[in-house]
Structure 1
Amino acid sequence: MPASKNPAIEDYLKTVYAHTEWQPDPITPKVLADRLGVAPSSVTEMVKKMAAAGLIAHVPYGPLRLTDAGRARALAVVRRHRLIETWLVREMGYGWHEVHDEAEVLEHAVSDRLLEAIDARLGRPARDPHGDAIPAADGSIAVEAFVLLADAPAGHTGRVIRISDRDPDVLRDLEAAGVGPGVEIAVTDASADAVRISVDARPVEVAAEAARGIWLSA
């Protein structure tokens, strides 16, 4: 099996890419190990393999950066993952809080032919159910100026660009409150514990931790 089609390597590439998708600092081997739930020694060995395959640039004890080839492979995996999530929500009746784990499995099994069929059936969607941009087949991906809800000042109004899918309970709570990608909100107040917003003139309180996982248009 080529290195680029190895499911473990694909998971590494996707995780390295995701770390810098919304902030500029490269990922360290320790953070990568924590994100993947593996031992640091396992990361060391895998990084060596990925570097030898030309997928990652790394100096001992330094941060990890994708090469052009590695970024292209990472975006291909991200494309599969996000299209599968979108398909599961639109066609299979899944909730947006349920699709991440399913997509983690299916992204390694779906063929390019099936992925193209899914993309066409869905009408070439630009974003997944959480608001993440879906890379195009050529590897291009949309980038938009943003501000985290946690950092937005009182008076800021913006459209929800994306919401982190890490906590299904948070997704359920936000959905119940009418907060999701594409929704226009206004920040009314903030404290150490929560951010208060207005959604269609309704007051909504978002816990500070959840506010760190909500991206608004700048």
Structure 2
Amino acid sequence: MNYTISEENYLKTIFLLQETEGTVSTNTLAEKLQTKPASVTDMMKKLDAKKLLNYKPYYGFTLSAEGKKIALGIIRRHRLWEYFLCNKLNFGWEEVHLLAEELEHVGNKKLVDRLDAFLGFPSYDPHGDPIPDSKGRVRNIRKIPLHQLPALRPAEVCQVTNQSSEMLELLHHKQIGIGTKLEIKKFFDFDHSLEIKMKNSTITISEQLAQNIFVTYEQDL
């Protein structure tokens, strides 16, 4: 069955919200998609009729097994295209999200599988988000936000959760990216900022920035 771009956007967004919130509310989804709650309610009825949703008015909703399968396919395409654009066409990691938003709706399975093979079956996109495989399986690793890392513990950046162009530009300016090795030298009580040491530099970053950088411990590398 074919789905509209709008339906696919809803399914993907519900899946991502569901990962952190469980049951998704109409208002939360409306805010995320920057639309009216009434429009969300209309779409929920359509997706429910197609058996893609477990929906109860006033109680929120979750994806059905079929809805989750479709959402994972969309996310797989999006993250593979991000990887392709960044690693093969040399786009900056702050540029690829909007382009992948368009390309993710090209749902030809043979094309997506060949793209995956061409790229060497990558497990993570340029921002460290896991790429579902052809069966919808996702590889997860143990990780924590940087501000929770104990001082003087060697670690490696594995994911950036805030992927706005402003955030990625800031990280690029500070020479922090996926795979960057670092350790926290000092926590500052006044504003909870952190002094971190990397290979060739020592810099101070805000707590807000550190909350959006996830790392693996040295023992997990």
Q: TM-score, normalised by structure 1?
A: 0.88
**Among residues 60, 82, 85, which one is paired with 2:82 in the alignment?**
85
Post-superposition Cα deviations, 1:165-194, rounded to whole Å, max 9, x if no partner, equal: 532122122123231222222233155463
Instruction: Work out whether 1:108 is the aligned partner of 2:109.
Output: no
**Among residues 37, 52, 56, which one is paired with 1:55 in the alignment?**
52
1:215 alignment partner in structure 2: 214
Unmatched 5+ stretches in structure 2: none
**Among residues 160, 163, 170, which one is paired with 1:166 in the alignment?**
163
- Range 194-203 or range 45-54, more displaced: 194-203
AA aligned to 2:92 is G
Q: What is the count of residue pairs matched by the alignment? A: 215
Summarize the alignment of residues 178-193 of structure 1 with structure 2, pairs less than 5 Å apart: 178-187=175-184, 188-191=186-189, 192=191
Q: Quick one: structure 1 residues 20 and 181, their matched pair in 2 at CA, closer, same or farther if it must change by over 3 Å?
A: farther
- Range 189-198 or range 102-111, more displaced: 189-198
Once the two structures are TM-superposed, the CA of residue 54 in structure 1 deviates from its matched residue by 1.6
RMSD between aligned residues: 2.1
1:94 alignment partner in structure 2: 91
- Secondary structure of 2:88's aligned partner: helix
- Range 187-196 or range 84-93, more displaced: 187-196
Inter-partner Cα distance in structure 1 for 2:134 and 2:115: 12
1:18 alignment partner in structure 2: 16
Q: Quick one: structure 1 residues 146 and 101, their matched pair in 2 at CA, closer, same or farther if it must change by over 3 Å?
A: same
Q: Identity over aligned residues, as a percent?
A: 31
Unmatched 5+ stretches in structure 1: none
Q: TM-score, normalised by structure 2?
A: 0.87
Inter-partner Cα distance in structure 2 for 1:27 and 1:204: 39
Structure with max Cα Rg: 2
Q: Quick one: structure 1 residues 150 and 77, their matched pair in 2 at CA, closer, same or farther if it must change by over 3 Å?
A: same
Instruction: Work out whether 1:130 is the aligned partner of 2:142.
Output: no
Once the two structures are TM-superposed, the CA of residue 77 in structure 1 deviates from its matched residue by 0.3
1:202 alignment partner in structure 2: 201
